[in-house]
């Protein structure tokens, strides 16, 4: 498949890295020579310096022959015009654009992104995606990461194992006998800088970050098995009133009307705007790094504080200060992936990385065919793939125990209609089953072949 990616920033670079690893013909356009040089030097992709919406640049990039264009520059307008040019002049079949400004997303302008006007097939709003990801973590307190799969029937969650975790120092093969009625499957262990796809003889130790699949109906009991029985927060403080903070507040207000929400914003003009737009929400003007502000925000009686300013260091430090002031749980938005390992050493309950969320969101729309969902885990350490089994699949009517899985691949759950089944050797795979697999990035393509699904990237 031939792909043009407009924008070589963090999101564009990582999408290019992912697609180029799968032997696609990838071209990346950016106005910054240093970013283009990085693409040419480190990826199996072609980098071009220029404006992504310029017809001459798009022509030089081979737009007349590409199957897909992904526009993720820093400018909404460049992304939109690039997609329009790709459609009008080069007839590119599918176009995906990142659009940040919520003004473009208002219901009254819903006709803007139609084939008759601005033919963009998929609009990605990073701030909205991040807000929803944070809400998932708030709904399942005690987690470091949460992914919903199979239309919400299955969850993949990450948790930290503490000294009092009931299942540490226990071989994984004993979990089914310890919890016979619990639909649970451990699929990854992060130990220090080491990421492990475990076998049944592996054990979890204090300090490990563990990822497991669970039937959504069993999720609370599964969390309790790992020593996490935190209650869903009813008093939440949001630090940062930018787009993410505003979206997050609105979602919480709509989905959890019983939750008391306070927003702290350091910019007075923005705080006043928020007070007009977020009716019924307490808006504070203040600096989240000032102890007096945290005291005035009643942090001692706040169950969760979410720091979503546009500065990583502020988000990390404010979270630590909130914990020191008595807040039970803190979540920090962190753009620099190099900071995420710090979660093990700092008293921060979860870190949210916008780049990973945006890349995963875009890849959802790149995949088609029988691959129903795809997520990246821990900055590309592993892929979570949800695939539908076809009548002609090599594994249809085959028992799980007889499937020759590649190394570092685990079947995490099987969804059959409304039923969630945990894999066991005698379970027979049927046509129409949704099989959820975790695989290292190196083995992901073998998983696709295993299911006889040619993963069309369109």
Write out the H or E segment, with its range, that includes residue 187: strand 184-191
CA angle 113, 114, 118 (to 5 degrees): 60
Residue pair 5/63 in contact (Cβ under 8 Å)? The answer is no
Q: What is the pLDDT of residue 452?
A: 54
Q: What is the pLDDT of residue 368?
A: 54
Task: Give residue for tokens 């007349």.
Answer: 64
Residue pair 373/28 in contact (Cβ under 8 Å)? The answer is no
Sorted by sequence, the CB contacts under 8 Å of residue 337 that are 6+ apart come out as 353, 355, 356, 379
Candidates 127, 164, 163, 192; CA nearest to 357 is: 127
446 CB neighbour count, 10 Å cutoff:
15
Q: Please tell me the distance from the alpha carbon of residue 275 to that of residue 283, in angstroms, as a whole number.
A: 6
CB-count burial class (<10 Å; 0-12, 13-18, 19+) for 440 = buried
Q: What is the pLDDT of residue 35?
A: 97
Q: Domains in the chain, start-ordered, CATH in brackets?
A: 2-124 (3.40.50.720), 235-356 (3.40.50.720), 357-450 (3.30.70.1450)
Query: Tens-digit pLDDT profile for the chain (458 aa)?
Result: 899 999 999 889 988 988 887 778 999 999 999 999 999 999 999 999 999 999 999 999 999 999 999 999 999 999 999 999 999 999 999 999 999 887 888 788 878 887 778 889 999 988 999 999 999 999 999 999 999 999 899 999 999 999 999 999 999 999 989 999 999 999 999 998 888 999 999 999 999 999 999 999 999 999 999 999 999 899 999 999 999 999 999 999 999 999 999 999 999 999 999 999 999 999 999 999 999 999 999 999 999 999 999 999 999 999 999 999 999 999 999 988 788 877 778 889 999 988 888 887 887 777 655 777 778 787 678 889 888 888 888 888 999 999 988 888 999 999 999 999 999 999 999 999 999 999 887 787 777 676 654 444 44
Sorted by sequence, the CB contacts under 8 Å of residue 115 that are 6+ apart come out as none
DSSP calls for 197-222 = ---TT-B--TT-EEEEEEEGGGHHHH
Q: Which two tokens stand for residue 352?
A: 């949210």
Q: What is the pLDDT of residue 454?
A: 46
Candidates 391, 361, 371, 381; CA nearest to 435 is: 371
For 327, phi then psi, to 5°, come to -65, 135
C-alpha distances (whole Å) from 425 to each of 272, 396, 398 are 60, 14, 10
Residue pair 235/302 in contact (Cβ under 8 Å)? The answer is yes
Write out the H or E segment, with its range, that includes residue 271: helix 268-277
Return the half-sphere exposure (C-beta side, CA atoms, 13 A cut-off) of residue 360: 23
Question: Beta 122-124 vs 94-98: how paired, if at all?
Answer: parallel
Candidates 119, 135, 238, 221; CA nearest to 178 is: 221
Candidates 276, 296, 294, 157; CA nearest to 222 is: 157
Residue pair 454/368 in contact (Cβ under 8 Å)? The answer is no
Q: Please tell me the distance from the alpha carbon of residue 394 to that of residue 109, in angstroms, as a whole number.
A: 47
Q: Give all strands (DSSP E) within 324-442, no chain letters.
A: 329-333, 350-352, 371-377, 382-388, 409-416, 419-421, 434-440
13 CB neighbour count, 10 Å cutoff:
24
Q: Please tell me the distance from the alpha carbon of residue 428 to that of residue 445, in angstroms, as a whole number.
A: 23
Residue pair 211/147 in contact (Cβ under 8 Å)? The answer is no
Q: How many residues does the chain have?
A: 458
C-alpha distances (whole Å) from 300 to each of 142, 235, 294, 365 are 19, 11, 9, 43
Q: Which two tokens stand for residue 416?
A: 């059959």
């Amino acid at each position: 498949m031939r792909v043009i990616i407009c924008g070589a920033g963090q999101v564009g670079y990582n999408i290019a890295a992912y697609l180029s690893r799968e032997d696609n013909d990838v071209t990346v356009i950016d106005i910054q020579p240093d970013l283009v040089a990085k693409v040419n030097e480190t990826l199996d992709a072609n980098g071009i310096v220029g404006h992504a919406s310029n017809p001459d640049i798009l022509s030089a990039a081979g737009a007349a022959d590409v199957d897909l264009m992904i526009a993720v520059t820093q400018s909404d307008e460049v992304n939109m015009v690039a997609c329009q040019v790709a459609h009008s002049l080069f007839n590119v079949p599918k176009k995906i654009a990142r659009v940040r400004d919520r003004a473009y997303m208002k219901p009254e302008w819903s006709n803007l992104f139609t084939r008759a006007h601005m033919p963009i097939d998929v609009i990605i709003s990073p701030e909205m995606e991040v807000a929803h990801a944070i809400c998932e973590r708030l709904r399942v307190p005690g987690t470091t990461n949460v992914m919903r799969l199979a239309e919400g029937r299955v969850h993949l969650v990450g948790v930290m194992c503490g000294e009092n975790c009931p299942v540490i120092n226990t071989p994984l093969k004993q979990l089914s006998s310890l919890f016979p009625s619990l639909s649970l499957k451990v699929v990854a262990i992060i130990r220090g800088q080491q990421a492990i796809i475990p076998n049944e003889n592996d054990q979890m130790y204090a300090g490990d970050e563990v990822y497991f699949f669970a039937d959504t109906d069993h999720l609370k009991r599964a969390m309790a098995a790992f020593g996490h029985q935190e209650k869903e927060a009813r008093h939440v403080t949001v630090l940062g009133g930018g787009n993410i903070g505003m979206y997050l507040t609105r979602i919480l207000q709509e989905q959890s009307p019983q939750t008391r929400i306070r927003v702290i914003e350091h910019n007075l003009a923005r705080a006043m705007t928020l007070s007009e737009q977020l009716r019924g929400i307490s808006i504070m003007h203040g600096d989240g790094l000032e102890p007096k502000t945290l005291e005035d925000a009643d942090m001692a009686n706040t169950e969760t504080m979410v720091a979503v300013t546009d500065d990583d260091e502020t988000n990390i430090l404010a979270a630590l200060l909130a914990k020191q002031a008595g807040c039970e749980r803190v979540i920090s938005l962190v753009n620099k992936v190099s900071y995420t390992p710090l979660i093990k050493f700092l008293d921060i309950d979860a870190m949210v990385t916008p780049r990973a969320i945006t890349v995963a969101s875009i890849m959802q729309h790149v995949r088609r065919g029988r691959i129903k969902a795809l997520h990246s885990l821990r900055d590309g350490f592993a892929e979570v793939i949800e695939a539908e089994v076809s009548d002609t699949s090599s594994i249809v009517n085959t028992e799980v125990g007889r499937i020759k899985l590649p190394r570092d691949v685990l079947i995490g759950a099987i969804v059959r209609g409304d039923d969630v089944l945990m894999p066991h050797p005698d379970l027979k795979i049927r046509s129409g089953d949704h099989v959820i697999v975790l695989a290292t990035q190196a083995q992901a393509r073998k998983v696709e072949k295993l299911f006889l699904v040619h993963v069309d990237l369109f």
